[in-house]
Amino acid sequence: MNKLSLLSVLLLACVTAQATEPMMPDGSKDMYVGMALATRTAAAGEERRVEPRPLLQVQWSNGVFLSASGVAGLHLSDAPGLEYGPLLAASNSRQPTDSWRLRGSRPVDGKADGGVFFNYYLSEQTRVLSSVFYDTSAHGLRGYAGLQKALALPDPHHSLALTAGAYWATAPVMRELYSVSAAAGGARDYRPDAGLSAVSVGLDWNWALSRQWLLHSGVSGTRLGRAAADSPVVERRSFISWSTGLAYRF
């Protein structure tokens, strides 16, 4: 059994109570499945393409939840105002031959990463978010800390959620993603240390077209930390991502 299958079995085998109506990853309480179009400006040797992306946000009564961002988790808390438990995240692979800009960089294996999350509600509409993952490709840690607020709107058919936060990583993760070797064909030698990898702010908008159908749109801006931005593989320090699509709500 590979690591992904083993982690999936361990995650789905747990059965526990969940907090009452926790906010989902996009800051709403909606559960849906659908399809969207998404794109973003390039950051590190990536192609800029508009491509279809699944919309998925669901949680079962035993606390297991899934998100189209490639994250699965399990709520272990039954205390109001607290959310915590294990996480399983998909990871993208990368090879130095994927783009001319990636010359001299290290390959990245697309292995699943295991971690934990802890969220604390400051109010019914505001929560502190945090997570830590063990990167199985780089053999290091990466994490996130942020704040999310669901914004009150006069029209009940519309909901907005604002999220802002920062990402960090230990040296093995930073070096796998951003180090470059001149001897391997890179523009110059570069070897970053641990630190802040990026800061981001995002806005999610849900428009309930009917009881079943939902238009979901999201936009986020990201600015890389200095250690990441100074790498020869990075095309620009700041970039924007957006997506919009139609989903069936249940």
Closest CA to 64 of 78, 74, 76, 79: 74
pLDDT digits (tens, 9 = 90+) for 163-203: 999 999 999 999 999 999 999 999 999 999 999 999 999 99
CA distances to 18, 22, 37, 132, 201 from 79, rounded to whole Å, are: 8, 11, 37, 21, 28
Q: How confident is the model at residue 247 (pLDDT cuts 50, 70, 90)?
A: very high
Q: Which helix (H) or strand (E) holds 219?
A: strand 213-224
Q: Domain 3-15+30-249: give its CATH code.
A: 2.40.160.40
Give the global pTM: 0.87
pLDDT digits (tens, 9 = 90+) for 108-154: 998 899 999 999 999 999 999 999 999 999 999 999 999 999 998 89
pLDDT digits (tens, 9 = 90+) for 60-110: 999 999 998 889 999 999 899 999 999 999 988 999 999 898 999 999 998
Q: How many CA atoms lie within 13 A of 138 on its CB side?
A: 24
Q: What is the pLDDT of residue 50?
A: 85
pLDDT digits (tens, 9 = 90+) for 10-27: 333 333 333 346 789 999
Closest CA to 200 of 231, 235, 177, 225: 225
pLDDT digits (tens, 9 = 90+) for 225-245: 999 999 999 988 998 999 999
Q: What φ, ψ does residue 7 adopt, rounded to 5°?
A: -65, -35
Q: Provide the residue ranges of all domains of the chain, joining segments of one domain with +.
A: 3-15+30-249
Residues 50, 96 contacting (CB under 8 angstroms): no
